[in-house]
Amino acid sequence: MKSRLLQIAQLGNPVLKKKAKVVKNIKDKSVQELIDDMLATVMDVNGVGLAAPQVYQSLQIFIMASHPNPRYPNAPFMKPTAVVNPKILEYSKERERGWEGCLSVPGIRGFVPRSVKIKVEYVTRTGKRVQRGFSGFLARIFQHELDHLKGIMFIDRVESAKDLMSEKEWRRLMDLKQKEQLSV
């Protein structure tokens, strides 16, 4: 079956503030189709992650799809993965700030503190329960997407509104930094 591209809820939509429900019937056709549609949608819009509430479904599902693209030029490659009923079992004490954006908050970037390493548990789309670790940018994506399932946005996580930036200015800053690195 052909997957569909889904509409993305924007900041202020009530669905983004709700706690998402546990998925009980992962093998249901409706859940499997939702996952297929989310996978197609996140790739279409150059996302590295997408949570079900962002496509108006208040369910504990998100996609991690890290790959370098125009929105995140330095993202590592990861096979697009559906994460169902996730939780974080352990957070590293070490945290670092990094730039995040969100498909539901277009045009804005935030410098967000996150744990550098996490240990997580979730269920795959085939119903298998897995535990694994993530670090760096992938740990950041997981924490960002899990927040969506709790009704939390990245702009809630910045330490100060001064850590928010327009995407245009952010791109200018990143270009400058890259040039600085090249000239060293």
Tell me whether residue 52 or residue 102 sits nearer to Ni ion (CB atom).
102
Among 33, 100, 145, 159, the one annotated catalytic = 145
Only segment of 21-29, 62-70, 74-82, 94-102 that touches Ni ion (CB under 5 A): 94-102
Residue 132, number of CB atoms within 10 A of its CB? 10
Question: Exposed/middle/buried for 87, CB within 10 Å: 0-12, 13-18, 19+?
Answer: exposed
Q: Which stretch binds Ni ion (CB under 5 A): 71-79, 86-94, 102-110, 159-167?
A: 102-110
Shortest Cβ distance from residue 50 to Ni ion (Å)? Answer: 8
Site for Ni ion in 3-32 (CB under 5 A): none
Report the alpha-carbon distance of residue 116 to residue 95 in Å, rounded.
5
Number of H helices, E strands in the chain: 3, 8
CB–CB of 133/118 below 8 Å? yes
Q: Among 31, 61, 102, 112, indicate the residue that binds Ni ion (CB under 5 A).
A: 102
User: Any contact of residue 141 with Ni ion (CB under 5 A)?
Assistant: no
User: DSSP assignment, residue 181?
Assistant: H
Q: Rounded to the nearest whole angstrom, what is the least distance from the CB of residue 184 to Ni ion in the complex?
A: 33
* 145 tagged catalytic: yes
Binders of Ni ion among residues 25 to 84 (CB under 5 A) are: none
Compute the distance between CA of residue 72 and CA of residue 130 in angstroms, rounded to an integer. 27
What is the set of active-site residues? 145
Interface with Ni ion (CB under 5 A): 102
